[in-house]
Chain A
Amino acid sequence: EPEVTQTPSHQVTQMGQEVILRCVPISNHLYFYWYRQILGQKVEFLVSFYNNEISEKSEIFDDQFSVERPDGSNFTLKIRSTKLEDSAMYFCASSEDRVTDTQYFGPGTRLTVL
């Protein structure tokens, strides 16, 4: 069964460093998402992406964040200058159908900012 994959599974970085989180969505999906879950808190929407552009972004998704689909398979989330409060589990999701919008999630990348 096709699945969303994410790398790395765990990333440790120093405050102020740039990180790139990578995702490979399901191959025939057209809609892509990033969510994050700070430990003990709700899963929060960050950004959605369709047709090579951002469709919607949350208040969390400020200028420090960017997304890109550099080729036909990868979907990346870049955090330019990480802060301690960026420590969280980051989930990528993709969906084929905007109507039912059944989003399939990857296993997540745990980002730890020291």
Chain B
Amino acid sequence: GEDVEQSLFLSVREGDSSVINCTYTDSSSTYLYWYKQEPGAGLQLLTYIFSNMDMKQDQRLTVLLNKKDKHLSLRIADTQTGDSAIYFCAESPTLHGATNKLIFGTGTLLAVQP
């Protein structure tokens, strides 16, 4: 079945790099996404990667995709206290019908220590 797993918690020091990992089960997923949720706020789309790509870089964010192992990671360079939030990985299973639901992971709470 469709399932997305993430580690629950990551603590880093300000200025260090953060790496948040995710594993998914549906190998047919065409796109994979990273969302950020700050306390009391909605889900903010950070970035996404097409399944035929291995890597995507967007400023401080680097997404790595290992399709063979069904492993996705998000690296945040020079992590700042403002990056403290919950990060959700999501997959979009095979297109069927007119729309496509997102399957979310459990979320990883990133705590950045000053």
Contacts and interface: CB of A to CB of B under 8 A. Distances in A.
Interface in A6-55: 31, 33, 35, 42-45, 48-51, 55
Contacts of A98: 95, 98-100
Contacts of B33: 102
B92 interface: yes
Given A42-B106, A56-B101, A100 B95 contact: no
A36 to B, nearest CB: 11
Interface in B31-85: 31, 33, 35, 41-45, 48, 50
A106 B97 contact: no
Contacts of B41: 107-108
Give the contact-size bracket for chain B. Answer: 20 to 34
A104 interface: yes
Given A42-B107, A55-B97, A56-B97, A103 B102 contact: yes
Contacts of A59: none
A71 interface: no
Contacts of B105: 42
B104 interface: yes
15 contacts: A31-B99, A33-B101, A33-B102, A35-B102, A45-B101, A48-B101, A49-B99, A55-B98, A91-B43, A100-B31, A101-B100, A102-B45, A105-B35, A105-B44, A107-B41
Interface of A: 4, 31, 33, 35, 42-45, 48-51, 55-56, 58, 91, 93, 95, 98-108
The 8 closest A-B pairs by CB, nearest first: A48-B99, A45-B101, A105-B43, A107-B42, A55-B99, A43-B104, A50-B98, A55-B98
